[in-house]
Amino acid sequence: MKYINPYDIAEFFGGLSLANFKKFKKRVLNELELEDNEIVINNQKFSKNDIYEILEEIDKNKDLLNNYFALYMKKDINYFLYGENQNIETILAKINFLDENLKNFITPFLKDRLKEIYKNAFKNKNLTLLKFTPPISKIYLDEIYEPIYKSLKNIQNELQSKKNQRINLSNIQEIIGNIDIINQLPDYFDKRRNDIALTIRGLSVDMWNDYEDADLAIELINLALKFKLNSKNRDMFENDKKQLEKMKEKEKGNKLLKEIENILNSYGNFDVKLQKIKNYLLNNFINDEILNNTFRIVFNYIKNNQVNLLLLDNLNVVEKFLIFLKNNSNDYQFKEIVNSNLNDIRNIRNKIQAAKTKESFSSILSIGFWICVVLGFATPVFWGIAFVIMIIMGIMD
């Protein structure tokens, strides 16, 4: 519906008032017969028929002249209704403070202008204007916001088209565009915002279920969390993120444990293998579950491969490895298990060392015995010493 203020027409065809409207109308119609096909008012072209229609409308309801006069006196609003685009935010703020009667009067002219204005504001990322609620009855919001709503729906449809296929984050970000702009839109767009975020969540689920790509799944959830969401969806997304992080940690842990098994089953000395495992753990990912499973894998290897723990070198290597596991763990129960094994290792080592000491002393006594026997042929007193040594050796046995 075109906006033409009869008081602007009057600037071309003489004065206008409620009292002389009939004469004014007749005069204008007569003058138009002499004009070209178009007339320019406030830089806008109007046909003779446009002028005729507004005059006929007022002739049927002359109270409309009061509203047109009020707008004529508010020059910036009057020009805005014709199509002027300067200081849009300021003009909309002024319109917002008009009395309801006048605001309702201009609504049919205003809604088409606002539809185009908000469409361009979204396209040009005009945050200031997008945050401004249109100064118009809510019943017209669907019409005003239709272009923006359609743009957001197109984003959602394009995201849905990526379902069940391998995607990358940059492509999804390119489809969405500027999330800050979408978040600045009024509450009217809350459902559309949440729908887009839910579609992104669906892609995140696909990336985990179909490809077990925890990193991309988490990145997509983080992207969805950037939207202005209702509390229900935000809580759901936060929980999704926690679950994905746990699955990612488990996936990474499984790969790490598999590598530990590969190191143990590779060619090389046992002490070298344990050192490689220590270095691998330090350079990657350590948590209590990993340390516990590493402990289990290493001792299964020792059992299945019959690693001789009666050798002091092997005992020392295992002891150092257990100390490493204990020092890097925060699990009290696990530390208790490791301490118990450390005590067993130390007890075994003490027994081995005691046996070696006894064996060495027995060897010395045996050598001394035979020396004394030989020397006894020259000096009989050595036979007595040999006898004493023999008694001591019998007691040790």
Per DSSP, the residues of 254-265 read HHHHHHHHHHHH
Q: Do 298 and 326 fall into the same domain?
A: yes
Identify the pLDDT of residue 389.
61
Distance CA 105, CA 61 (A): 13
Q: In Å, what is the CA distance from 32 to each residue of 29, 38, 50, 52, 316?
A: 5, 9, 11, 9, 112
Task: Specify whether the CB–CB gap between 330 and 289 falls below 8 A.
Answer: no
Q: State how far the Cα of 299 lies from the Cα of 375, in Å rounded to an integer.
A: 55
Does residue 312 share a domain with residue 242? yes
CA distance 393 to 231: 85
Query: Do 312 and 348 fall into the same domain?
Result: no
3-class state of residue 220 by DSSP = helix
| pLDDT band, residue 151 (cuts 50/70/90) | very high
Identify whether residues 214 and 235 lie together within a single domain: no
Residues 224 and 239 in one domain: no
pLDDT, residue 205, reads 94
* pLDDT confidence of residue 147: 92
For residues 211 and 269, state if they share a domain. no
Question: Could you tell me how many helices (H) and strands (E) the chain has, helices first?
Answer: 20, 2
Final residue in a domain of this structure, among 183, 205, 229: 229
The answer to whether the beta carbons of residues 32 and 51 sit under 8 Å apart is yes
- Report the predicted TM-score, pTM, of the whole model to 2 decimal places: 0.67
Residue 124 lies in a domain: no
Q: Is residue 189 included in any domain, yes or no?
A: yes
Asked if residue 281 and residue 314 are part of one domain, the reply reads yes
Split into its structural domains, the chain has a count of: 4
Candidates 174, 162, 253; CA nearest to 205 is 162
Lowest mean per-residue pLDDT among 229-238, 342-351, 360-369: 360-369
- The region of weakest confidence among 2-16, 44-58, 207-221 is 2-16
Confidence of residue 322 (pLDDT cuts 50, 70, 90): confident
Residue 128 lies in a domain: no
Asked, for residue 79, whether it belongs to a domain, the answer is: no
* Whether residue 239 is found in the same domain as residue 219: no
Whether residues 318 and 380 share a domain: the answer is no
Residues near 334 by beta carbon (within 8 Å), at least 6 away in sequence: 288, 291, 292, 295, 325, 326
376 domain residue, yes or no: yes
Question: Distance between CA atoms of 239 and 209, rounded to whole angstroms?
Answer: 17
In terms of Cα–Cα distance, which of 115, 132, 240 is closest to 184?
Answer: 132
Same domain, yes or no, for 215 and 261? no
Whether residues 325 and 383 share a domain: the answer is no
Position 20 in a domain: yes
At which of 164, 197, 229 does a domain end? 229
Q: Is residue 123 part of a domain?
A: no
Q: Is 197 part of a structural domain of the chain?
A: yes
- Stretch 25-36: mean pLDDT, rounded? 77
What's the mean pLDDT in 28-33? 80
Ranges 136-140, 164-168, 217-221, most confident? 217-221
Residue 160 has pLDDT above 60, yes or no: yes
- The model's confidence at residue 155, banded by pLDDT at 50, 70 and 90, is very high
pLDDT level of residue 43 (50, 70, 90 thresholds)? confident
Q: Which of the listed residues 174, 195, 229 is the one where a domain comes to its end?
A: 229
Its domain, for residue 20, covers: 1-73
Whole-angstrom distance, CA of residue 252 vs CA of residue 256: 6
The total of other beta-carbon atoms located within 10 Å of residue 159's CB is 21
Answer whether residue 372 shows pLDDT above 70: no
User: Do 220 and 157 reside in the same domain of the chain?
Assistant: yes
